[in-house]
Amino acid sequence: MSKDLYQALVHAPQPARPLVFAFHGTGGDEHQLVELAGTLVAGAGIVSPRGDVFEMGAARFFRRTAEGIYDMEDLARATDKMIAFIEAHRASHSGHPVYGFGYSNGANILAAVFLKRPDLFERVGLLHPMVTWEPDAHPKLVGRKVLVTAGRRDPITPWPMTERLISWLSDHGAEVTSDVHEGGHELRNSELTALASHFNGDVGPG
């Protein structure tokens, strides 16, 4: 069954509350962001999958050949697999808004899914993403609420790449907000506050 495509921590939402997907970074697992996910939106359900490819023992959602160089064939495989997983969980909670956030490699698998299927998420938070490929425009991106966060001195997911993604998303109709700090790849409180506001603001397109 598609809901079992990934090992995952899963908690059901309370009535009419959102379902929040959380995607960990390289070397994390399904536990990395689950506590944070639980604090973001009152009564929300959580789906936190574990990446199923390993780089010297570190879990990731897709392969890369070097730092910042993605295996695009594996990314395509992983994107389709994650879409099937998300669709299955969505179907179990139809009528609930669906939000997703991810950090680093988790932001990148979420970005790949969202750019291919923007209709799967009412809101998305990309924390330190790095989209190295040229995405295809998608009409359903228009009006989607996306938060993008970054550190200006991030050596792993460099700020100019994030800036390019922010511009691309805005140019293609998404409603983008951002939070950029002066530090590196670490998650700072301002980003977590921005994510909580993003998930608790006015309702976006369904």
Residues of span 86-145 touching ligand MLT by CB under 6 A:
104-105, 108, 130
Q: Which of 201, 147, 143 is nearest to 179 (CA)?
A: 147
**19 vs 32, beta carbon nearer ligand MLT:** 32
Q: Give the whole-angstrom CA distance, residue 198 versus residue 177.
A: 8
Mask for 13-42, x = binds ligand MLT (CB under 6 A) = ------------xx----------------
**122 vs 154, beta carbon nearer ligand MLT:** 154
**41 vs 75, beta carbon nearer ligand MLT:** 75
Please give the size of the binding site for ligand MLT, defined by CB under 6 A: 10
Decide: is 157 part of the binding site for ligand MLT (CB under 6 A): yes
* Annotated catalytic residue, options 96, 154, 179, 198: 154
Q: Which of 40, 17, 30, 12 is nearest to 198 (CA)?
A: 40
Is 202 known to be catalytic?
no
Decide: is 178 part of the binding site for ligand MLT (CB under 6 A): no
Residues that bind ligand MLT (CB under 6 A): 25-26, 64, 68, 104-105, 108, 130, 156-157
Residues with catalytic roles? 104, 154, 185
